[in-house]
Amino acid sequence: MAEQDVVVRGHHVMSVRISEHPAEGFWRLDVSNPAAHRATMTTTVSEADGFLMHLINDAVGGQSSAWRGLAEWGQDHLSRPVPGFRLAPAG
């Protein structure tokens, strides 16, 4: 598992957590805004999911731009939920 707090768009801090579930063959991505005590954007990502999988691989590899990309993606989806993605209760 990898986790990092990321400053996006100048002043928002988003918490990004990546975990791998090798037995099931997917990765889990959680993005939240801890300061706002808002819900968490949660999705699962498979190796076939090009865009997010590329960012996850780069983030786990230590690239700060990939962490920022995941944080911005989550922040955008927290403000406008997309069908098929689940908002988990905070806590």
pTM of the predicted model as reported, rounded to 2 decimal places = 0.80
Q: What is the pLDDT of residue 77?
A: 78
Residue 37, both tokens: 């005590």
Domain that holds residue 31: 2-88
d(CA 34, CA 18): 16
Spell out the alpha helix ranges (H) of the chain.
50-60, 64-79
Q: What is the pLDDT of residue 17?
A: 96
If one counts the domains in the chain, the total is: 1
Q: What is the pLDDT of residue 54?
A: 94
Determine how many CB atoms are found less than 10 A away from the CB of residue 90.
Answer: 12
pLDDT in tens, the chain (91 residues): 899 999 987 888 899 999 998 888 899 999 998 877 656 888 899 888 888 999 999 999 999 999 999 999 888 877 765 555 555 555 5
Integer Rg of the chain from CA? 12
